[in-house]
Amino acid sequence: MKRYGTVYLSIAYLLALLSVGCVATAPSEPWKKDLKRELSLLGSQNWIIIAEPAYPHSSGQHVQSMVVEGSIPEVLHEVLLTMEELGHVTPRIHLTREVSQLTEDYAPGIIQHREQLKEVIESRDIIELPNNALTLSLREAQNHYKILLLKTPTTLPYSSVFIELDSGYWDGDSETQLRQTHY
């Protein structure tokens, strides 16, 4: 009888370990599932904004807002991974020119933020524009295209990242070549 007790304890221990493993691999942040669903609906000329909490919430019908967990670099990393997984869109990353000019005196933590962004962005091209220029581009875009606004808890001025989406399987060079060859 003692032997059966040991077997039952061993099985119970194994099941406990497996259930902990299952919990650890389950999506702990529900916004990631929502991101994948929303991103699968977006296409060329749509935008994603990964923003600080003070970024204005637009009431436009083409703006979808989500509150997400994680810093701007962490959320950007997740967005880029999801884009790569889906494959139908590719990012054109825009940063505000102001974020590169801020110092620790004005925005404690900004140097670490820029370093983390650089690590996430890696070798991708970045377009730096003044914040006002990006705001104007987005106002125009929201009249015609969908914008996904992801609000993070990052509290650094001008730290938002703006991603203009392009086709993941057809680029500008291919379009130009097609037009020159056939039209």
Architecture of the domain made up of 29-182: 3-Layer(aba) Sandwich (3.40)
Closest-CA residue to 90 (of 122, 43, 51):
43
Where along the chain do its domains lie?
Answer: 29-182
**What confidence tens digit (pLDDT) does each residue in 61-109 have?**
789 999 999 999 999 999 999 999 999 999 999 999 999 999 999 999 9
Q: How many CA atoms lie within 13 A of 8 on its CB side?
A: 5
- The pTM score is 0.80
What pairs with residue 94 in β-bridges?
127, 162
**What confidence tens digit (pLDDT) does each residue in 20-59 have?**
444 433 445 789 999 999 999 999 999 999 999 999 887 7
